[in-house]
Amino acid sequence: MSARPLVSAPLTPREILDRLVAFPSVSRDSNLPLVDWVEDYLAGQGITAHRHWNEDRTKAALFAHVGPWEEGAVVLSGHTDVVPVDGQDWTSDPWTVVEREGRLYGRGTCDMKGFDALAIWALVEAQRRGVKRPLQIALSYDEEVGCTGAPPMIAAMQGVLPKGAVAVIGEPSGMQVVNGHKGGTGFHVHVKGFEVHSSLLPSGVSAIMEGARLIQWANERNAWIQAQAVSPVAAGFDPPFTTLHVGMISGGTAHNITAAECRFALEMRVVPGEEIEAHVSDFLSEVARVEARMKAVRPEAGIHLERFFGVPALVPETEGEAEALIRRLTGGNAVGVVSYGTEAGQFQEAGYSAAICGPGDIAQAHQADEWLAVSEFQAGQRFMERLLEELAA
């Protein structure tokens, strides 16, 4: 595949970061202005990028390949979406990178446009300098709403680019290798009851009280899980076990009327080595049991479930190529695991050796005055420089 000639001067990582942050690519909105800019910028450097659209074509993932047109590339993976700033008290414009006291403030500087900027810079440098092993970039959408944009992007890459071998997912990790994280899934639960005066309770169905049975099941499930022996794979996590959680609930109209509606969301964070679907199956069995009890009183009653995310765990690999590569580039021996989910497990599930390494501290993500330390951004650039050297060797 021949590349187009260079037609514009390359930007520095910081210049790229400034441009990326300027796009308010909140998950609820389109990311197309950002994608348009990245695609045009890469084209100006002689790099052809490819899009994968969502169903209504309001968002797109972007991926590209430089170097020999062959399999075995290192893939630099990041997401383009950020969380909202609504209701947060920012001391500067969240859509403008502001440097203060060694920190780069702005929405997404840490999670994860800092890494995206470095990855775009590295791809352009690989094109300019030449590499013997190919380099790819993969920028997804809708990571912040359940990592839903990466799987179709990864599938689309297989038919367009040569298959990559190693995926480095640049979530903030302090430039340390993370080789494992929990998987997870969640359900929006809508319990439909039947209203009667509370004095006639047995002839009605309280959606809140029936929903509470499912929440109590989650409590009992947590207690049962925590009573089990901790597996070696799970031991490094905090906490070292699977958790089920309900964070919000709503429903009911008055204290003396059985509730017609109850809504809540239940999430599961599952340690590697356990099957997410086994926990799901047990939950569905409990839903069926509670629903049957409700319908025996009022056939109109019922429970509706909507699954709203599903993220596979990142399983620590034995002699994994991704972990070995990151160790060589960072010179670090420390390895860690995290309890939140990322797109790394999705790359691993698709046959890539995957690990996490990116600038920043996850504690800064999603916060008002989100920031990335300048030193971390510089460490990320040194990482990319060493990567380019290795790919050229």
Q: Is 171 a catalytic residue?
A: no
The one-letter code for the residue type at 30 is: S
CB 283 within 8 A of CB 266: yes
Q: Please name the residue that has the structure tokens 């059985």.
A: 258
CB 30 within 8 A of CB 58: yes
DSSP per residue, 203-236: GSB-HHHHHHHHHHHHHHHHHHHHTSPPPTTGGG
CB 17 within 8 A of CB 378: no
The one-letter code for the residue type at 307 is: R
* CA-angle at 27, arms to 165 and 81, nearest 5°: 40
DSSP E strands in the chain: the ranges are 49-53, 60-66, 73-79, 98-100, 103-105, 135-140, 164-169, 177-181, 183-192, 243-251, 261-270, 302-311, 335-338, 353-356, 371-373
Q: Looking at 142, 143, 210, 323, which residue is catalytic?
A: 143
What's the rounded Cα separation, in Å, for the pair 210 and 355? 42
Q: Looking at 81, 171, 210, 376, which residue is catalytic?
A: 81
The one-letter code for the residue type at 338 is: V
Q: Is 86 a catalytic residue?
A: no
CA 30 to chain centre: 17
The one-letter code for the residue type at 350 is: A
- The alpha-helical segments, DSSP class H, found in 130-201 are 150-158
What's the rounded Cα separation, in Å, for the pair 105 and 96? 8
Residues classed as catalytic: 81, 143
